[in-house]
Every structure is written in structure tokens, then in C-alpha cells.
Amino acid sequence: MIELLKEIALEAVDRGSLADFCTGTVVAAAPLSIQIENGPLLAERFLLLSRDVTEHEELGQIRTWTDTEGDRWSFYRMIRGKALQAGEKVLLAKAAGGQQYIVLDRVKGGGQ
């Protein structure tokens, strides 16, 4: 089984089907467009967004306790306002085939 996995991995490398990573800058938030560093301007239809760069609802539980009341579990509903804004730098992965890019997360730094 391990030999089979090694063979599959080597074939993928030979075909050049690994993802390429790059950085970009959000030019506009709505509709979303990202300028790749030294590359094209990507329209929203070419972008797949990770949860960390979108506004989304989060449901969960939180445990609180006091000396007098003991443990208490409460449910919460939170809206995470993480939508991309113009001017933010992002990390992208170019999908195999090069037709779509996955926006993975925000980045800082880079000497700019």
C-alpha cells in the first residue's frame, strides 16, 4: 500500500499537478476582485473562499461556572465578520489546471 501511494505521488509531481501558492491584494470587496502579485486581476468567479475569509455564522456551546452555581452550559450564535476588504493581502493556492484560485487566508508583512 505504501509503495502504491509513493507511485501516485511521484506521478502527480511528474504531471506538474501540484498547487502553486501566490499572494494577492484585494482590489474590491463587492464584487470581489484580487490582483495577483505580478499576475492577472482575478474576478470573483475564479475564486474559492475559505471560511477564514468570509462572513459566516458560528454556533457553539460555552461552559461557565461559579462557586455557588457550579457548571452551566450555554449555547451561542455568533456572526464572524471576516469578509475581505479592499487593500488586504491574501494567500492564494492555484488549483490544478489553473482555472480557479483558493483564497486561503490573510497575510501580513512581506516587506511592503
Longest Cα–Cα distance in the chain? 65
Top-confidence residue, 110 or 29? 29
**pLDDT of amino acid 16:** 57
What length is written for the chain?
Answer: 112
Beta carbons of 76 and 65 less than 8 angstroms apart: no
> Residue 112: which pLDDT band, with cuts at 50, 70 and 90?
very low
pTM of the model: 0.67
Q: What is the pLDDT of residues 82-91, one digit of tens each?
A: 899 999 999 9
**pLDDT of amino acid 110:** 57
Top-confidence residue, 98 or 53? 53
Computed over every residue of the chain, the mean pLDDT equals 85
Beta carbons of 72 and 57 less than 8 angstroms apart: no
Domain ranges of the chain: 23-106
**pLDDT of amino acid 25:** 96
